[in-house]
Chain A
């Protein structure tokens, strides 16, 4: 089941033998022997696990996108198949972790908190952008096809380069700014309950990048801010504590050529958002804000 390519292992063994021949010290021999035995053990265990998994009725078939630029023979992208025993409540991330820990330790993917708050493990699962730790295996058709997020460059296996996404997020200045600070030193900047309700959903963004990956417009226009960044802009533009002049500045950012007006209301971002943020609604509201801001009746 190991995805190690035979050619590679042979080569590795060859070089091992060579170094042994050059320096035939006892310690090296012992270490080589140890390594060989560990390899054997691991291979045996993998074979056993694979057999067990194949015999077990409740196994899930995973098809995982693999690509590794650093290893010759893995530079051509391919799909690997893993059989993972199903457990109640198993998520896509659980299955991937099982596959990595049992079959192929080189299987690479980002994950951290496993409870849908760190936003590391957005992936393309069965043709849709999903948060792997929030997606139940039982809800998916088999085989489960797992790919890295579309419209981002793949660094390795399921890991994509998020740099462009972060750049777009930062472009909208995603932090609280205000010019009217209260007079008293210890006075708080209070937000009204209504205003908090208004921005509530938009604060839930976890920067996973699923929306950006699902957006057709963002795919064709690299300068487009994208749903996540516009949602961030919404969160602060709608915050009444920021004041008029800061809001004006924010509207200028989002109504640029590659800002809100690129959105063509396909609703893909709203559909894929793992935190159920009504992204399209927020973008549409900012469009109306931008129009209201520029319309002058005299």
Chain B
């Protein structure tokens, strides 16, 4: 056989131009999954401050001056954290809804409308995120 040519980057880039719904769903699912894993670590780090806080004296706890309460309060004071919380909710909601969609796909239910269910989960994610904004952002500004 004659020499052949491996297009490498050319073909990899051109692949990115036309994605269908199923592909976007897969990419978003991967992305949100990794974001949630990352969040899990920070979540554990923050909650772990409750361990030293549990050993604190009653007076300290009553005055809300223990390390756990302090950490939570400091974090919630940051505008960035408030905004990121909205993002976290969006990511979690999409992951849940698309997870349900994948469950249906695995069960072989409604494979012909898999693109519609992806758009539905996107819209629902958007709606829930927008609805959550007042709760998360209240008093931040």
Contact = CB atoms under 8 A, between A and B. Distances in A.
Contact of A268 (B1, B3, B11, B23): B23
Interface string B2-21: 11111100111011011011
A150 B8 CA distance: 9
**Considering the complex of A and B, which 6 residue pairs feature the smallest CB-CB distances, nearest first?**
A267-B22, A127-B18, A69-B3, A153-B4, A127-B17, A150-B11
B111 interface: yes
A154 interface: yes
A115 interface: no
A280 B22 CA distance: 11
A139 interface: no
A203 B75 CA distance: 60
A154 B111 contact: no
A77 interface: yes
Contact of B111 (A150, A216, A278): A278
A110 B20 CA distance: 27
B106 A154 contact: no
Given A147-B11, A155-B4, 7 more contacts: A70-B3, A148-B7, A153-B6, A156-B2, A161-B1, A278-B112, A281-B111
Contacts of A153: 4-6
A266 interface: yes
B4 A127 contact: no
Interface string B89-120: 00000000000001001111001101100000
A201 B2 CA distance: 37
Contact of B22 (A77, A151, A266, A281): A266
Interface residues of A, number: 33
B39 interface: no
Interface of B: 1-7, 10-12, 14-15, 17-18, 20-23, 25-26, 102, 105-108, 111-112, 114-115
6 contacts: A128-B18, A150-B11, A151-B11, A155-B1, A155-B2, A265-B106
Given A147-B14, A268-B23, A285 B108 contact: yes
Contact of A150 (B4, B15, B112): B15
Contacts of A69: 2-5
B6 A287 contact: no
A67 interface: yes
Nearest to B18: A127
A266 B23 CA distance: 5
A70 B106 contact: no
Interface string A138-160: 00000000011011011110000
A267 B107 CA distance: 15
A80 interface: no
A224 interface: no
Given A216-B23, A278-B111, A265 B102 contact: yes
Contacts of A150: 7, 11-12, 14-15
